[in-house]
Amino acid sequence: MNAPATTRVTASNADRYLSRQPGQKAGLLPRQDPLRWPGRPDGPLDEAACKRFERDGFLVLPGLFSSAEVARLLDATARLQQDFHGGCDERAVLEPDSGSLRSVFQVQLLHPQLERLFRELRLLDAAQQLLGSEVYLHQTRVNYKPGFRGREFSWHSDFETWHVEDGMPAMRALSCAISLTDNMEQNGPLLLVPGSQRHFIQCAGQTPADHYRQSLRRQEYGVPDPTLITRLVSEGGLRSIIGPAGGVVLFDCNTLHGSNSNISPFARTNIFAVYNSVDNRLREPYCGLPPRPDFIANRSQTDVLREFGPA
C-alpha cells in the first residue's frame, strides 16, 4: 500500500493553530472548525446525544460492550502486556520510574481481536456520524495503569500534539476510550474539561527532535499553562469518567484531558482508538520536524474502515 503524499505548508494552507513557535507565549485561540461536522446526519446517536457531544466535547456510552466481550478483550490486552513486558519493541512505552508497561501502540496489528474491535459498527458508525465522513485509524493503543505503579498522564489536548508534531490540519478526529476494567475515582480515571474543545490552547516552547521518545513516557512540551487550565476548569468544570468495565467515552480531539496516578491496588486498563476523517489526512508536521513514526501517527494505512465482524 502506497503512503499518501504529504502536503507542505504554504500560504493557502497556513497554520490556523499556531503553537510551540519561537518566542510564542501560551494563550487561547477560538476554535475554527465545527464542533460536529455535517455530512452524515444518520447514525446510532440521537440528536440529544449529538448535542451533548457538541456542548461538552465528549459523550459517555455506558455498557456498550458486554461482560463476555470485555473478558475477550481483556485477555487480548493481557497477552500484549506479557509479550511487550520490558519494552522489547518501540511500540511499547514504559513508565518513567518503575519500568512497568505504560502503553502499547498500533495494537490493531498485534491481535486479531483488537483489529475486529476497531471496525465494530457500534464505534465506527458513531465516529462517522460525528465527523461527517468516512474514517480511518489515526492511532490505537492500550493504556495500562497497574495498581500502585501507574503514573499520571499530564493535562493536554491531543489535537495540539497531533497538529504540531503530526501535521493534522483540522479538528476532525475523535478518540474512543473503551474501559476493560472498572474505572473508579481511586484508580486514576480519565479526567475531562467540559467545553474546553471550543478553545485551542497554544503552548510555549519549541518541540525537540524525537520528542515522542520522552513525551509518551512523561510529557513536558505541549502541556498547557496552569493558568489556562484553571480558567477552562473554572468555566466548564471537571468531569472524571467512572463506571463499570464495558463503557465507552467518545471525546473530541481538542478536549482538554489527563489523569491522576493510580496508587490504589486496582489496575485500570483502557483501549483507545483514534478515528480521523478521510478528509483530514496528515500533512507535514507544523513544527518543521520529520514526522513521528507510523505507529503513533498513521500515514501509510489510511484506507476507509469497513466492518470486519463482531468483537
Written as one string, the DSSP assignment of 36-67 is: S-SS---SSS-HHHHHHHHHHSEEEETT-S-H
Query: Cβ distance 186 to 266 under 8 Å?
Result: yes
Cell of 34: 465545527
Cell of 232: 477552562
pLDDT digits (tens, 9 = 90+) for 279-300: 999 999 998 899 999 999 999 9
Interacting residues of 263 by C-beta distance below 8 A, sequence separation 6+? 148
CA distance linking residue 69 with residue 112, whole number of Å? 14
The CA distances from residue 116 to 66, 125, 252, 305, 311, in Å, are: 15, 14, 23, 11, 6
* Whole-number pLDDT of residue 215: 57
pLDDT at 308 over 60: no
Grid cell 470486519 is found at: 308
Q: What is the CATH number of domain 59-277?
A: 2.60.120.620
In which band, very low, low, confident or very high, does the pLDDT at 217 lie, cut at 50, 70 and 90? low
Please tell me the pTM assigned to this model.
0.91
Domain boundaries, the chain: 59-277
Eight-class DSSP state of 213: H
| Residue type at position 44 | P
* Whole-number pLDDT of residue 197: 98
- Helix-strand-coil split of the chain, %, nearest 5: 25, 20, 50
- Is the Cα torsion angle 192, 78, 101, 265 positive or negative in sign? positive
* Whole-number pLDDT of residue 212: 60
Cell of 255: 478536549
Closest-CA residue to 84 (of 73, 94, 70): 94
Straight-line distance from the first to the last Cα atom of the chain, in angstroms, rounded to the nearest whole number: 26
Dihedral of the alpha carbons of 142, 146, 151, 155, in degrees to the nearest 10: 40
CA distance linking residue 221 with residue 164, whole number of Å? 11
Helix (H, G, I), strand (E, B) or coil at 168: coil
Grid cell 446510532 is found at: 44
130 φ/ψ angles, rounded to the nearest 5 degrees: -75, -30
Bridging pattern class, strands 248-252 and 58-61: antiparallel
pLDDT at 36 over 80: yes
| Residue type at position 124 | L
* Mean of all residue pLDDT scores within the chain: 89
pLDDT at 7 over 80: no
